[in-house]
Structure 1
Amino acid sequence: MLWLTWRQHRMQLLVTVALLAVLGALLLVNGLGAAGFDARNPPPADCASDYRAACAGYTAGMMEWMWAVGDVVGWLPLLAPAMIGAFWGAPLLAREFEHGTDQLTWTQSVTRRRWLIAKVGGLGAAVTLGGLALGAIVGAWLAVFDSSAFPVNFFNTNWFRLVGIGPAAWWLSAFVLGVAAGALIRRTLPAMAVTLAVCALAFFGLLSAPRLYATPERFVQTTAAGSDLVPDTAMVVESYWTDRNGMKRTSDDRQLALAVPCGIDETTKAYAACSFDHGYRQVQLFHPASRFWRFQWMEAGILLLPAFALGGVAVRRTLRPRI
C-alpha cells in the first residue's frame, strides 16, 4: 500500500517538496543579504533604550530586507492550507467515488480499513512533516532579523501561523477537512470548492482569535520614560488612555482636552510628559511573548479537534458499504 500511495500521489509530494525548496532558497538568499547588511551597519548598542537616528536607519534597512519577500511569505498562512486541503485531501476519496474505482479497489484483498489507514495516515503524516518543515524554514529566516535593536514579534499575524507547530496544524486540519468533504460530497470539484471556502472562513475567522486565548495582562504607563513601554515582542490587545478620574479616553479626546496646556503635537516627549503631568495614563492590555507556545497549541486544538471529528464521521461513512 505504501508503494501504491507513492505511485498515485508522487506528483503532489514532489510539487510540495519543490515549492518548499524554492521558498527555502529564496529565504536563504534574503537572510544572507540581511545578515550582510547587519554586519556592515551594526546598530548602536543602546537602540533598545534610546531610539536615535542611527537606530532608525538600521531599522529601515532591516525592514526593507524583510519585506522584500515578506509580502510573498505573508500569503502562505491562507494559501498553503487551502491548497493542501483542495489538492491533497479533497480528491483522495472523492475521485474514487466519482470514477467508480472504489467498487474495484475495495473488493480486492486490501480492505477499506487498511486502504484508509495507508492512504489517509501516510499522506496525513507527509502533510504534517511538510508543515513542520515550513515552520522551521520561516523560523530560521526570522531568526536572522531578531535582535535587541530589531526584535521580531512572532505574535504578528504575518508570522504566528508560519512558525512553530502552526503550519503543521493548519495543513493537517485542511487535509482532514478535504478528505471529509470528498467522502461526504463524493464529487471532486465540489469537494475542492467546499474545502477552499471553509479554509478561507477558518483563516479569517481565527485571524484575531489569539487575542482571546487568555486573559491579557494590564500595564499602566505613568511616565514618558521609554523603558516603561510594553515590549515590542508582546501582542497588544488594546491601548487606551484614562484621565485623572480613571475614565477611558481615546487619543482624540486627550488631544482635545490638552490642546491648550500641552499643544497639539503628540509626537514629542514634552507632549507625553505634559499628558502624564495632567493625570492621564496610558493603559495597554497585552499578551507577553512567553505565551507564544501556549497559544500555538491552543490554536492547533481549535483546528484539529473539529477536523478530526468531521473526518471520523466521513471515515465511518466510507467504511460502511453502500447497499
Structure 2
Amino acid sequence: MSTLTSTSNSAAAGAEAPRRPQLLSGMNWLIWRQHRAAFWTILAATALSVAWIVFQRGQLMDFLTGYGWPTRNLDEAGPKLEPYRKAFVLVSGGLGFVPVLLGVFLGAPLLAGDLENGTAKLVAAQSATRARWLATKLGLTALVVVVSMVALSAAFGWWWNPVREENTVLEWSSGSVFDITGPVPVALTLFTVVGGVAIGVVLRRTLMAMVVTFGFAVAVQLVWGYFRLSLGDVITVTTNKGVTAENAFPDLPHAALQIDESYLTSSGDLLGWSTCANGATDQARELCLKKEGVVGWSVDYLPISQMNGMQWFGASILFALTAAVVAFLFFWGRKRLV
C-alpha cells in the first residue's frame, strides 16, 4: 500500500513538475549537433567581424568630427582619409569572399559527407522521412547563413553610410559596397551555399564536391559582377553648348556613376568621344567638330538613388535561383538521396 502511494505521489509530482522548454529537439537537435562546429564557427566569426566593424566605425566618426565634416568637403582630406579608405577595402574584400568560403566549406560537404560515409542510408532507415531530413538540414543551414549575413550587411552598411556619397572612399557601384550591403550578400551566399549542396548531392564525394563548388562560386561572382550594372535604368542627359567651353559638360548628380559619354550632333546622332582627338591644334579640333556637326554632349549615368532598387532586384533573381535549386534537391532526394 505504501509502495503504491509513494509511486502515485511520485507520478503526480512528475506530472506537476514543469517541463523545461527545449529550443532544439528531435531532428533539429540531431542536425545541429552534427554540424555544430561549423555553425558555431560561422556565428563566432560573424560576432568578431561585427565587433571589428563597430570599432572601425567609431574611428571613422572621430576623424570626420575632428575634420569638420560634413561642413568641409572630404575631397580636401587627401592622405588623411587614406587609412580609413584602406580599412574599407580590406574589410569589404574579406566579406566579399565569404560566399565562396561558405559555399565550399559548408554547402559542399553538407550532404556529400553523409552520402559518402553512409550516414544517409542510416537516416533513411529511421522513422523520419528523407524529405524531413533534407528540409531540416537546409533550414538550419539557411538560418545560420541568413543570420550571419544580415548582421554583416547591416554592420558594414552602418559603417559606410556616413561616406556613402564620397567616391574617394568607395564607389557605391563597385562590388566592394554593392555586394556587401543590403540584401545582396544574403542572396549571393544562400545561392552559393545551396548550389554547393546540390553539387555535393550529385557528385556524392566531399573533396570533389568542394573543388567543383569553388569553381561554381567563382563563376557566380564573375557573372554577377558582369551583370551588376544592368540591374539599373541608365539615365541619359544631353547638352547643346558645344564641347570645348568651360561649362559645356553636363553636371551629374553627386556620387553618380558615369557609364558612357559621346558627342551629340545636330541631327541627333552620337559620335565617340575620341572623334577629332587627333587634331594637331585646338583650332583644327574645332574645325573637325564643326564639320561633324557636334553641338554638345550625351552622357549616360546611374544615380546612387537607384542603388537600393538595383540591390533588391538582383537579390530577387538570386532568391528565385536558390528556390529552383532547392526544388531540384527535393526532386532528386525522393529517390536518389541515399
TM bin (shorter chain): 0.7 to 0.9
Identity of counterpart residues, as a percentage? 25
| CA deviation after TM superposition for structure 1 residue 243, in Å | 5.4
| CA deviation after TM superposition for structure 1 residue 71, in Å | 3.2
1:260 equivalent among 282, 299, 319: 282
Higher mean Cα deviation, 62-71 or 197-206? 62-71
Question: TM-score w.r.t. structure 2 length?
Answer: 0.78
Q: After the TM superposition, which residues 83-232 of structure 1 pair with which residues of structure 2 at under 5 Å, given as runs?
A: 83-146=101-164, 153-221=171-239, 224-225=246-247, 228-232=250-254
Q: Which residue of 1 aligns with 2:32?
A: 6
Q: Which residue of 2 aligns with 1:266?
A: none
Give the secondary structure class of the aligned counterpart of 1:219: strand
Q: Is the Cα contact below 8 Å between 1:241 and 1:254 reproduced in 2?
A: no
**Cα distance change, pair 197–246 in 1 and its aligned pair in 2 (3 A):** same
Deviations 1:44-86 (A, max 9, x none): 7474xxxxxxx53325433431223413422432x21111111
How far apart, CA to CA, are the structure 1 residues paired with 2:240 and 2:312? 35
Give the secondary structure class of the aligned counterpart of 2:175: coil
Aligned residue pairs, count: 304
**Cα distance change, pair 105–19 in 1 and its aligned pair in 2 (3 A):** same
**Cα distance change, pair 313–10 in 1 and its aligned pair in 2 (3 A):** same
Q: Which runs of 5+ in 1 are unaligned?
A: 48-54, 264-274
Q: Is the Cα contact below 8 Å between 2:146 and 2:186 reproduced in 1?
A: yes
Q: Is the Cα contact below 8 Å between 2:131 and 2:333 reproduced in 1?
A: no
Q: Are 2:311 and 1:296 equivalent residues in the alignment?
A: yes
Corresponding letter in the other structure for 1:89: G
How far apart, CA to CA, are the structure 1 residues paired with 2:240 and 2:80? 33
Q: Which runs of 5+ in 2 are unaligned?
A: 1-26
Q: Is the Cα contact below 8 Å between 2:239 and 2:248 reproduced in 1?
A: no
Q: Are 2:82 and 1:67 equivalent residues in the alignment?
A: no
Q: Is the Cα contact below 8 Å between 1:236 and 1:286 reproduced in 2?
A: yes
Q: Are 2:78 and 1:56 equivalent residues in the alignment?
A: no
Q: Which residue of 2 aligns with 1:317?
A: 332
| CA deviation after TM superposition for structure 1 residue 145, in Å | 2.6
Q: Is the Cα contact below 8 Å between 2:237 and 2:250 reproduced in 1?
A: no
**Cα distance change, pair 230–74 in 1 and its aligned pair in 2 (3 A):** farther
Q: Which residue of 2 aligns with 1:236?
A: 258
**Larger Rg computed on CA atoms:** 2
Q: Is the Cα contact below 8 Å between 1:241 and 1:248 reproduced in 2?
A: yes
Give the secondary structure class of the aligned counterpart of 1:83: helix
Give the secondary structure class of the aligned counterpart of 1:206: helix
Deviations 1:6-34 (A, max 9, x none): 21112112221222223223322322222
**Cα distance change, pair 227–248 in 1 and its aligned pair in 2 (3 A):** closer
CA RMSD after TM alignment: 3.2
How far apart, CA to CA, are the structure 1 residues paired with 2:107 and 2:184? 19
1:16 equivalent among 37, 42, 53: 42
How far apart, CA to CA, are the structure 2 residues paired with 1:239 and 1:8? 56
Give the secondary structure class of the aligned counterpart of 2:278: helix
Deviations 1:237-256 (A, max 9, x none): 22333456655444443543
Give the secondary structure class of the aligned counterpart of 2:52: helix
